[in-house]
């Protein structure tokens, strides 16, 4: 089994060639640890966020919540507040008495530590950790000596290293008298399961409060010796990328794993490296994989007894390698990438307006990915973390995305990329800020930091020009959007995501020729995550906020104004939802918003997980009432990060941890009347999606126009229809006074030679 950091649990029965999600309905999919019950592999435990401990009693096929790991009794002063939520991790089970279980709770908040259960995980009490008012304990680790299961070792970040010999009843802190540092910023610990004789082979990796790192070994669990670390790294580290000992994790997970049958062989994973030692840590060799940023590691014993399968989880996914000797050092080319786990963390997405099978996604640490109609996505290999991906609305072969060094662009649909940030001040760009795009012109984007910039195309490439001064320093741009018909009408929001303050809004009606005007923000207390402008009326705005409400003060997250050009902008909350709890949209962080270009009263919003469910909601009446978009129980319970409405019908969403999803009931390729034009295109053109032939032969009877190329409703495509098409102004675009969508036969927003070719290809045909 494997788990995604925010994607839930997956099960394989064929050594990783195929995987099945088995826990999408669980309340929190941020699973950090999975452990089988000793002696009974049918029972499996998993630790997750929001203090959840899960259990499966059928070898991982189905799962339920076992318990909420929290100690509120406060009998010994180590109590937990109700609003202190943590991550359940490092599940350790006594092999001699499986009712005795231990876990750690990870968090940046105080009051966390080591917890114990004596009833197989049903109830828990804290046995080690600071009390409510005493410091922090974030990245914790826990190891059990399976030969002596009453002996456990714990690393509490910012606290120290602790040992118990009586199952957690009493703990002693290990320090300088044991050969270890007094203070520990972060670290990891492991006990060899096959220590010889009465010895206890224990390994510890530590970064102390001064930043000095070291890898330590003990043969008795009491006295430690520094094996390799910052002080001697040039002698003990073998790494072609530099002889540097990296420890430990920062905000990433890591671990020490000892070979189950050979106690001298040890692996150490951390954010930057996967190390291996065959001499108890005296020498550490970096084992390269296809991706850095290590997250998890496991060893699978195989037959014959010398064989091992190494499994490594990192920000690039899951990899495995077969060793025929436990001392072997695998090369990067030996690793096999497992590409069947849909756990990509997408920040946002872009869908081609006239090709729903072309989708680009900006990912966490995997650059830009491309969907071409099959589940075999293309990793385009551009930058690490990417965000703000946009398809050019006029030239769809051009794709833009933000990387660590600003914007990049591809002119060939994502195959090759180049830097595209000339003129753009990149020093204060807000990560995950919305990228604005003008729908009627190529190469016209809006972005920025303390100022708003607009792009245009020069012979040398994409060039950016500031169209504002520093509007609200030191706050940075979080959202920006332009009118659909006037590129000089732009709305922008500034703030610091998650800071609890910000949300300053500004507008320009003349492209920045005169100073921008500060306008009223709908929620001055929190940042604005996205802005959407009504395609038909650029005075109408919708905004979403990324506020996280306090329990005592529920917050509105979706707002609308009918006149953003007024001297004083009036906002109204538009979250009424008759089927929602409390009659209002869920109280969560809202991430994105999309408006249909066909039915401007149709709006879709998405939000983070709340009450175990990520949300996709839509309105068909301009925000007066909302309802779930489809059956949300068919979506995994993870955060929805982005939404697109291509052709105004089909909903596609990106998730942060479970790839992308599409609502099947709104397939834009459906052709109900079988006339060769999709329902989506016919809705755009204003023809009837259920009639292949007109009911009457009344010319220009718009109420019953049926077959799109038959403009005069006489059931034939003939010279009359060709002449009507020829009378249109070629080059007319959506928003122009002389643009008539009835003649835009491919619904691309333009009347051009492609539409005339469609009429000519049907010449002489009849709908009957």
DSSP per position, 700-730: T-TTT--STT-TTSSSB--HHHHHHHHTS-T
Least confident span in 221-235, 240-254, 442-456, 619-633 = 240-254
For 351-388, write each residue's pLDDT tens digit: 987 777 899 999 998 899 999 988 889 999 788 889 99
Q: How confident is the model at residue 56 (pLDDT cuts 50, 70, 90)?
A: very high
Say if residue 517's pLDDT is above 80: yes
Which residues neighbour 283 within 8 Å (Cβ) at sequence distance 6 or greater?
A: 228, 236, 237, 238, 277
CA nearest 627: which of 635, 618, 636, 639? Answer: 618
The percent of residues in the chain predicted with pLDDT above 90, rounded, is 59
pLDDT of residue 77: 47
Find the helix packing angle between 753-761 and 719-726, rounded to 10°. 180
For 459-494, write each residue's pLDDT tens digit: 889 999 999 999 998 889 999 999 998 999 999 999
CA nearest 347: which of 410, 406, 431, 290? Answer: 431
CA dihedral 715, 719, 720, 723 (to 10 degrees): 140
pLDDT of residue 741: 87
**DSSP conformational letter for 187:** E
pLDDT of residue 290: 84
| Average confidence (pLDDT) over 47-70 | 94
Say if residue 131's pLDDT is above 60: no
Are 539 and 599 within 8 A, CB to CB? no
Q: Which fold has domain 1-138?
A: Methylamine Dehydrogenase; Chain H (2.130.10)
**Same CATH fold assignment for domains 1-138 and 145-235+263-341:** yes
- CA 460, CA 455: separation in Å to the nearest integer? 13
| Average confidence (pLDDT) over 184-199 | 90
Q: How confident is the model at residue 294 (pLDDT cuts 50, 70, 90)?
A: confident
pLDDT of residue 135: 46
pLDDT of residue 250: 46
**Long-range contacts for 308-311 (Cβ within 8 Å, ≥24 apart)?**
308/259, 309/15, 310/267, 311/2, 311/16
Q: How confident is the model at residue 109 (pLDDT cuts 50, 70, 90)?
A: very low
Mapped onto helix, strand or coil, the DSSP state of residue 577 is: coil
Q: Which of 428-432, 502-506, 539-543 is predicted most confidently? A: 539-543
Mapped onto helix, strand or coil, the DSSP state of residue 664 is: helix
Burial of 262 by CB count in 10 Å (0-12 exposed, 13-18 middle, 19+ buried)? Answer: middle
Of 379 and 502, which is predicted with more confidence? Answer: 379
Return the sign of the alpha-carbon dihedral for residues 56, 61, 64, 68: positive
| 20-21 sheet: strands from edge to edge | 2-4, 8-11, 20-21
Convert 678-691 into a string of H (helix), E (strand) and C (coil). Answer: CHHHHHHHCCCCCC
Token code pair at residue 742: 């009835």
Are 407 and 389 within 8 A, CB to CB? no
Mapped onto helix, strand or coil, the DSSP state of residue 279 is: coil
Say if residue 402's pLDDT is above 90: yes
For 443-453, write each residue's pLDDT tens digit: 999 999 999 99
Q: pTM, whole model, 2 decimals? A: 0.88
For 318-353, write each residue's pLDDT tens digit: 999 999 999 999 999 999 998 788 999 999 999 987
* Beta pairing, strands 650-655 & 640-646: antiparallel
Q: Which residue has the tokens 């872009």?
A: 350
CA dihedral 359, 360, 365, 366 (to 10 degrees): 70
Q: What is the mean pLDDT of the chain?
A: 88
Say if residue 618's pLDDT is above 60: yes
- B/e letters for 53-63, b = 16+ CB within 10 Å, e = fewer, are bbbbeebbeeb
- CA 595, CA 607: separation in Å to the nearest integer? 16
CA nearest 665: which of 614, 626, 610, 628? Answer: 628
Of 579 and 699, which is predicted with more confidence? Answer: 579
| Average confidence (pLDDT) over 79-99 | 83
CA 354 to chain centre: 26
Q: Which fold has domain 145-235+263-341?
A: Methylamine Dehydrogenase; Chain H (2.130.10)
CA nearest 160: which of 144, 143, 140? Answer: 140
For 528-543, write each residue's pLDDT tens digit: 999 999 988 999 999 9
Q: How confident is the model at residue 405 (pLDDT cuts 50, 70, 90)?
A: confident
Where do the structural domains in the chain lie, given as residue ranges? 1-138, 145-235+263-341, 670-768
The terminus-to-terminus CA distance of the chain in angstroms comes to 57
Q: How confident is the model at residue 103 (pLDDT cuts 50, 70, 90)?
A: very high
Token code pair at residue 607: 């939000």
Say if residue 84's pLDDT is above 50: yes
- CA 733, CA 739: separation in Å to the nearest integer? 6
Token code pair at residue 323: 């060793």
pLDDT of residue 582: 84
pLDDT of residue 617: 96
For 137-172, write each residue's pLDDT tens digit: 456 889 999 999 999 999 988 888 999 999 999 999
Alpha helices in 628-701 (DSSP H): 679-685
Q: Report the top-level CATH class of 670-768.
A: mainly alpha
């Amino acid at each position: 089994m494997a788990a995604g950091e925010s994607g839930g649990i997956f099960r394989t029965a064929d050594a990783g060639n195929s995987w099945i999600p088995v826990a999408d309905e669980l309340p929190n999919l941020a699973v950090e640890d999975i452990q089988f019950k000793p002696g009974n592999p049918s029972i499996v435990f998993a630790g997750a966020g929001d203090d959840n401990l899960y259990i499966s009693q059928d070898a991982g096929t189905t799962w339920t919540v076992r318990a909420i790991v929290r100690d509120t009794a406060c009998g010994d002063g180590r109590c937990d507040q109700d609003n202190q939520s943590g991550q359940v991790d490092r599940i350790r089970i006594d092999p001699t008495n499986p009712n005795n279980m231990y876990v750690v709770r990870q968090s940046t908040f105080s009051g966390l530590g080591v917890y114990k259960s004596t009833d197989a995980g049903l109830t828990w009490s804290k046995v080690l950790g600071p009390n409510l008012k005493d410091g922090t304990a974030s990245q914790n680790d826990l190891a059990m000596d399976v030969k002596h299961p009453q002996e456990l070792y714990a690393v509490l970040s910012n606290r120290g290293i602790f040992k118990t010999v009586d199952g957690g009843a009493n703990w002693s802190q290990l320090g300088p008298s044991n050969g270890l540092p007094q203070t520990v910023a972060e670290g990891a610990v492991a006990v060899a399961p096959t220590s010889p004789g009465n010895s206890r082979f224990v390994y510890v990796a530590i970064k102390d409060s001064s930043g000095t790192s070291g890898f330590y070994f003990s043969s008795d669990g009491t006295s430690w010796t520094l094996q390799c670390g910052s002080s001697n790294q040039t002698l003990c580290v073998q790494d072609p990328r530099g002889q540097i000992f990296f420890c430990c994790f920062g905000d990433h997970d890591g671990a020490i794993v000892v070979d189950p049958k050979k106690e001298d062989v040890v692996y150490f994973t951390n954010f930057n490296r996967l190390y291996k030692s065959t001499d108890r840590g005296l020498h550490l060799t970096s084992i390269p994989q296809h991706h850095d940023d290590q997250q998890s590691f496991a060893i699978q014993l195989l037959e014959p007894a010398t064989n091992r399968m190494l499994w490594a989880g990192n920000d690039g996914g899951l990899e495995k390698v077969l060793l025929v000797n436990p001392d072997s050092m695998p090369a990067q080319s030996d690793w096999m990438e497992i590409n069947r786990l849909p756990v990509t963390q997408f920040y946002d997405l872009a869908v081609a307006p006239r090709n729903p099978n072309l989708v680009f996604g900006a990912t966490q640490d995997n650059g830009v990915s491309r969907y071409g109609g099959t589940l075999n996505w293309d990793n385009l290999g551009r930058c690490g973390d990417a965000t703000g991906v946009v398809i050019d609305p006029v030239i769809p072969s051009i794709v833009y995305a933000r990387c660590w060094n600003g914007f990049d662009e591809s002119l060939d649909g994502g195959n090759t990329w180049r830097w595209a940030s000339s003129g753009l001040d990149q020093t204060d760009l807000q990560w995950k800020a919305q990228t604005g795009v003008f729908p009627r012109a190529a190469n016209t984007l809006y972005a920025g930091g303390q100022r708003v910039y607009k792009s245009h195309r020069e012979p040398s490439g994409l060039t950016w020009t500031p169209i504002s001064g520093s509007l609200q320093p030191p706050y940075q741009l979080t959202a920006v959007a332009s009118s659909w018909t006037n590129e000089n009408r732009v709305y922008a929001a500034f703030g610091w995501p998650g800071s609890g303050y910000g949300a300053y809004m500004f507008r320009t009606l003349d492209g920045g020729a005169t100073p921008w005007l500060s306008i009223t923000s709908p929620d001055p207390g929190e940042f604005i995550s996205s802005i959407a402008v009504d395609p038909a009326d650029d005075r109408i705005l919708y905004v979403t906020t990324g506020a996280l409400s306090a329990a005592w003060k529920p917050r509105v997250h979706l707002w609308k104004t009918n006149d953003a050009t007024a001297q004083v902008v009036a906002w109204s909350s538009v979250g009424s939802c008759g089927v929602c709890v409390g009659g209002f949209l869920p109280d969560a962080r809202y991430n994105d918003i999309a408006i249909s270009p066909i039915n401007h009263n149709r709006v879709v919003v998405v939000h983070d997980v709340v009450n175990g469910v990520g949300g996709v909601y839509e309105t068909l009446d301009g925000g007066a009432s909302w309802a779930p978009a489809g059956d949300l129980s068919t979506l995994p319970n993870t955060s929805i990060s982005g939404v697109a409405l291509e052709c105004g019908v089909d909903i596609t969403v990106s998730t942060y941890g479970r790839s992308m999803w599409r609502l099947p009931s709104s397939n834009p390729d459906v052709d109900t009347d079988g006339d060769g034009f999709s329902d989506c295109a016919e809705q755009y053109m204003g023809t009837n999606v259920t009639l292949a032939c007109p009911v009457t032969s009344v010319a220009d009877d718009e109420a019953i126009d049926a077959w799109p190329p038959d403009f005069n409703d006489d059931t034939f495509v003939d010279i009359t229809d060709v002449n009507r098409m020829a009378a249109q102004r070629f080059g007319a675009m959506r928003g122009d006074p002389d643009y008539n969508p009835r003649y835009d036969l491919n619904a691309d927003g333009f009347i051009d030679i492609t539409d005339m070719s469609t009429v000519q290809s049907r010449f002489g045909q009849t709908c009957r």
